[in-house]
Amino acid sequence: MIESQIESQNFIGGEWAPADSGETSEIINPSKPSEVLGTTPSSSADEVSRAVEAAAGALPEWKSMLPSGRGAIMMKAADIIEEKTDELASLMARETGKPMGESLMEVARAAAIFRFYGSEGWRLDGTIPPSTRPGIQISSVREPLGVVALITPWNFPLAIPSWKMAPALICGNTIVIKPASNAALNAASLMQVLSEAGLPEGVVNMVTGSGGAVGDPLVTDPRVKGVSFTGSTSVGLGIQERAVGKKVQLEMGGKNPYVVMEDADLTDAAQKVAFSAFGYAGQKCTATSRAVVVESVYDEFIEELKSATEATKFGDVFDDDTAAGPVVNKSQYNDILAAIETAKKDGRVIVDGGATGLEEDGYFISPVIVADVDNASETAQEEIFGPVLAVIKARDFDHAVEIANDTRYGLTAGIATRSLRYTQEFSERSEVGIVNVNTPTAGVEFHVPFGGVKESGVGPKEQGTAGLDFYSTWKTVAIRAV
Ligand code: NAP
């Protein structure tokens, strides 16, 4: 277990250091807001500049190391993550309010990600196609970008930093990460792991502080060649504007639909929708927030959905069967409660949840379901990032697909059906990066490409071997022996 208070610091050039100003911000346990878990430095442009300098200084040696050597360090990091599983998961549950069961799975996933990309050290691909010119050998190889900036959200506090760092490292880049202020202790624990694994000084650097004070100077620093961001669409699109001349990868918000067809197993479909909408209190980019149901099974599905929601357990993040704890902080809590007021005007209330009235005992919000929602309404169009589900009626399959696609977002979409035709057509016509057939929208696998389209995703996909594409650039070499 962690100590009750952690005084975290920045990690620059292999050393832990406070902000020059000495200023810190407190990290609060959202399950129990009176409990301060620790503090993290409130840094500024000066610390960012030093971190970029450290990363630039470490670059020549790191990129010239054999990829298998880089991979060996990453494998070691995976081992250490596994050795620290209970400590890391417990910190995650306390810092972000993620249920312990899910936190344990996230720690395992972080280890698997380091192992997956570590093993790419033996495999990093290139091509040697036949040249069109006689006597010439032509080949293309991957090269690192250089110093990359990673900006991460709080909701997957180990997995997202890992799935950005690991492909960046195996490709030979050096890193400055600015973690979410709400997950800075988790990020610091990952720095500790990498340091214990023997990562050379300066290869990974972390600077904590607000988006404006730390994120802005980081994305505009001319020494930074690539920016990989995960977070809200508004912040992401702002970063894209400011990161002039850099390679940019943005993974952003979602308003993910789940279509329920007349031939579906409605009990199973309701369980998948409730799990995806309310697990982790709806705070996943892949959460289902719109159930689009054809009219012939609309009322029946709503009854199933009510039962599935009632069976979902909310409360203490350390109970084994808890699916959702609190939302992450007071500001999210207030925003979600305001969105619930709007939702109750935008639809017929089916499950009347909301604030538990015990804010001092944690930022808990119970699920809210509203039906008969117009897809043009605010509730159906704006990401709430909380346990709120809109149910929307569709005439038939074509109408359901039209509604599902009628959003500026395009991360993931699900369908409940037994029909091969619906399955095929839905997969082809869905304007998203991920399609789920009879499986939850929430929950993805680390070894396949992940990411959205439209305003959910910009640039190359993350995860799987596709995750290498952002962190490398192709160099083509033509050789003629004389
Ligand atoms: P957020 O408010 O956009 O913050 C994300 C990160 O950006 C944080 O580190 C934040 O720092 C930083 N930031 C804020 N303003 C910035 C600026 N001006 N310049 C540079 N960086 C800045 O998002 P969040 O609340 O942490 O996470 C929830 C959002 O993430 C949701 O919209 C969710 O859908 C999305 N998400 C998407 C994916 C995906 O793969 N598509 C995965 C997970 C989450 P501070 O923490 O200091 O504000």
Q: Do residues 190 and 169 touch, judged by C-beta distance below 8 A?
A: no
Question: How many angstroms does the Cα of residue 426 sit away from the middle of ligand 1?
Answer: 30
161-200 pLDDT, tens per residue? 999 999 999 999 999 999 999 999 999 999 999 999 999 9
Domain boundaries along the sequence of the chain: 6-251+454-478, 256-437
pLDDT value of residue 443 = 84
Q: Report the nearest-CA residue for atom 32 of ligand 1.
A: 232
How many C-alpha atoms does 315 have within 13 Å on its Cβ side?
A: 8
- pLDDT at position 359 is 66
- Residue 187 sits at φ, ψ, to 5 deg, of -65, -40
Supply the pLDDT for residue 209.
Answer: 98
Ligand 1 atom nearest residue 452's Cα = 41
- pLDDT, tens only, 283-296: 999 999 999 999 99
Give distance in angstroms: CA of 211 to centre of ligand 1: 9
Furthest-apart CA pair in the chain: how many Å?
81
Helix, strand, coil shares, percent, the chain, to 5: 40, 20, 35
Q: 180: CA distance to ligand 1 center in Å?
A: 7
DSSP 8-state class, residue 77? H
Residue 198's Cβ-count burial label (10 Å; 0-12, 13-18, 19+) is exposed
CATH 3.30.360.10 correct for 6-251+454-478: no
Regions of the chain short of the pLDDT cut 70 = 1-4, 358-359
Nearest CA to ligand 1 atom 46: 180
Could you tell me the two tokens for 77? 């990091």
Kindly list the distances between the CA atom of residue 299 and the CA atoms of 244, 280, 310, 375, in Å, as whole numbers in the listed order: 51, 27, 17, 18
CB-CB contact of 293 with 393 (8 Å): yes
User: In a mutational test of the pocket of ligand 1, which residue from 234, 252, 450 has the highest number of ligand atoms less than 8 Å from its CB?
Assistant: 252
Tokens (6 digits) for 406: 């009628």
CA-to-CA distance for 455 and 383, rounded, in angstroms? 12
Please tell me the distance between residue 103's alpha carbon and the centre of ligand 1 in angstroms: 19
Instruction: Quote the DSSP letter at residue 121.
Output: G
Q: Say what the pLDDT of residue 358 is.
A: 65
List ligand 1's pocket residues with C-beta within 6 A: 151-156, 178, 180-182, 210-212, 215-216, 219, 230-232, 235, 238-239, 251-254, 285, 383, 385, 411, 452, 456
Protein residue whose Cα sits closest to atom 4 of ligand 1: 231
- Closest among 271, 236, 270 to 251, alpha carbons compared: 236
* Separation of CA 229 and ligand 1 centre (Å): 8
Strands 147-151 and 224-230: parallel
Q: Point out the residues that are catalytic.
A: 251, 285
Residue nearest to atom 42 of ligand 1 (CA): 285
Q: How many residues does the chain have?
A: 482
Nearest to 432 by CA among 410, 405, 414: 410
Nearest CA to ligand 1 atom 28: 231
Sequence-ordered alpha helix ranges (H) in 360-430? 378-381, 397-405, 420-429
CA distance 237 to 408: 13
Same fold, 6-251+454-478 and 256-437: no
Query: Which is the closest atom of ligand 1 to the Cα of 209?
Result: 47
CATH class of the domain whose range is 256-437: alpha beta
Cβ neighbours for 107, distance < 8 A, ≥ 6 positions apart: 81, 82, 84, 85, 88, 89, 92, 158
Q: Closest Cα partner for 413 from 280, 273, 278?
A: 273
CA-wise closest residue to 256 among 273, 243, 240: 273
